[in-house]
Amino acid sequence: MAPDDLDLNRDDIPLSQNGAPPAAPPPVSESSSRRWLIGAAVVLALVAGGVARWWTMDRTTTPVPAPEAVTPAPTDMAIEPEVALPPLEQMDPFLRTLLGALSARPELARWLATDGLIQQMALVIDRVSRGATPARQLGALAPGADIQVDRRGRLREINPASFRRYDGLAETLATTDPAAVAVAYRTIQPRLNEAYRNLGRTESGVDIAVQQALDLLISTPIPEEPIRVVEGRGATWAYADPALEALSPAQKQLLRMGPQNEARVIETLKQVRQRLAP
């Protein structure tokens, strides 16, 4: 395992002694439409960042205070593709105005208040496409509370109330307009691809990574409740179902949102893919 795949909160290593690593996502043709990109980038950033830390038994995480909401730009987002973009390192103000129009939800505003937005988007795409997680990079979207587990005789089950921590994130994704997303993509695509190339991914463009990441998340199974867990390594929980525990870290993050929220997110990912495909 490469050094950049290790994470102190164990998001990037199997939490079960017998968990087998997932199969790599199938290759995608370079000729696929570039209009996939920014919608997936925003959606993936919110999904991956919002569930970015594993369940710990000792509640040591301090909730991140939400910053003031970013004032949304006009909702028509009629920005022409040939607009003069700022240099890569000066994209944050531009993105806060452009992407702030996608949703007025505080979850998006919290992420837009961080720095290096386009670099974060490129990194999220890269890591999720490989089944890894961007937990260290998107901590601003992590929930402040830990998961609650109930004992049912000899079994342990996730308390359904724990899934409500992700209701706001699921709502943010479900209310994102794919048409506005497509216009945003056409505007910033050159800089996003530049940021992706700067990660050392010179073998292909960011479009392929986006499609692989989308396919991976959309293929995540939606389990039925109750969801049972067992004690993992250290102060962590692991899924009792070996099939769930064997999923990639990125997919297991999506599972942590709970079946209802997960279903909403997957449906949003499908709509984005359908709307932005050729």
Residue tagged 């939400």 (tokens): 66
SS3 238: strand
Q: What is the pLDDT at residue 137?
A: 67
Residue 250 binned pLDDT confidence (cut-offs 50, 70, 90): very high
Chain-centre distance of CA 131, in angstroms?
A: 11
CB atoms within 10 A of CB 149: 17
Q: Is residue 28 part of a domain?
A: no
Reading the block at residue 84, the tokens are 């003069």
Number of domains in the chain: 1
d(CA 227, CA 89): 43
Q: Is residue 16 part of a domain?
A: no
118-148 tens-digit pLDDT: 999 999 999 999 999 877 767 777 777 788 9
pTM above 0.75, yes or no: no
191-245 tens-digit pLDDT: 999 999 999 998 888 888 888 998 999 999 999 989 999 988 877 889 999 999 9
Q: What is the pLDDT at residue 41?
A: 56
Is the bond preceding residue 226 a cis peptide, omega within 30 degrees? Answer: yes
d(CA 108, CA 134): 17
DSSP 203: S
Lowest mean pLDDT among 25-29, 39-43, 179-183: 25-29
Q: Is residue 26 part of a domain?
A: no
String of DSSP letters for 18-83: TPPPPPPPPP--TTS-GGGHHHHHHHHHHHHHHT-S--BSS--PPPPPPPPPPPPPPTT----TT-
Closest by CA position to 8, among listed 260, 274, 235: 235
CB atoms within 10 A of CB 184: 23
Q: What is the pLDDT at residue 45?
A: 57
Closest by CA position to 47, among listed 169, 146, 214: 169
Q: Is residue 243 part of a domain?
A: yes
Closest by CA position to 43, among listed 143, 149, 182: 182
152-173 tens-digit pLDDT: 888 899 999 999 999 998 999 8
Q: Is residue 169 part of a domain?
A: yes
Range of the domain at 269: 33-276
> Strands 237-239 and 149-152, how do they pair?
unpaired
